[in-house]
Structure 1
Amino acid sequence: MLPEVRQVQPGDTVHLCVCGRSPQAPDCPDTCPQGTSLTIVREQRLLLCRCGRSRDLPYCDGSHNPPAPGWRGKWQRFWLGH
């Protein structure tokens, strides 16, 4: 499962899951006390975790991918998407 790429604008507010259990991941219901609200200060793209395995929730850290075996595997994953 790939991360969600979300384009946000200054002034936008997003409520994001940090526990990894939201059924609407990466969004979090407003009633959840563990969610985090972010108010965006500059235009940017957020890479948001949808699998719940990231150690940096709500952001994707690539934990959904198994480690690449060696330098060649990392190179192929980066350039070829394997």
Structure 2
Amino acid sequence: MLSKPAPALPEVRQVKPGDTLLLCRCGRSSQLPDCVSACPGALALSPEREQFLLLCRCGQSQGLPYCDGSHNRPAEGFKARWQRFWRGV
């Protein structure tokens, strides 16, 4: 029996003032969410406060480098979305 490859789930990254990130916005980086080259579309981020970011690792998000949930199939209604979140479906 063949198993499906694990989905590329989003990365939760804690950033702090003084950090400098170069994040991919085109989805072609081999190291998503980080941009490994000096791509002209890269997002240079220097946070002013400590925070958590939800970053896309699958490259399907419409708002790269941030995850918008595009890696999941659509869910109808709040209950279905909530169950998917907790069950990891």
Band of TM-score, shorter chain? 0.7 to 0.9
Higher deviation after alignment, 7-16 or 24-33: 24-33
Q: Which residue of 2 aligns with 1:36?
A: 43
For 2:20 and 2:74, how far apart are their aligned partners in 1?
34
CA RMSD of aligned residues (A): 1.6
Aligned partner letter, 1:42? R
Aligned partner letter, 1:21? R
For 2:52 and 2:62, how far apart are their aligned partners in 1?
19
**Cα 1:46/1:75, change in 2 over 3 Å:** closer
For 1:71 and 1:42, how far apart are their aligned partners in 2?
31
**Cα 1:78/1:23, change in 2 over 3 Å:** closer
> Matched residue of 1:75: which SS?
helix
Q: Which residue of 1 aligns with 2:57?
A: 50
Cα deviation digits, residues 13-71 of structure 1 (max 9, x gap): 10000000001110002422221101110001111000011011000000000001445
How many residues are paired up? 82
TM-score by length of 1: 0.87
> Matched residue of 2:18: which SS?
coil
Aligned partner letter, 2:32? A
Give the alignment partner of residue 67 of structure 1, picking from 51, 69, 74. 74
Q: Which blocks of at least 5 consecutive residues in structure 2 are unaligned?
A: 1-7
Aligned partner letter, 1:57? L
**Cα 1:66/1:10, change in 2 over 3 Å:** same
Q: Which residue of 1 aligns with 2:4?
A: none
Q: Which blocks of at least 5 consecutive residues in structure 1 are unaligned?
A: none
Give the alignment partner of residue 25 of structure 2, picking from 18, 23, 36. 18
Give percent identity, aligned residues only: 65
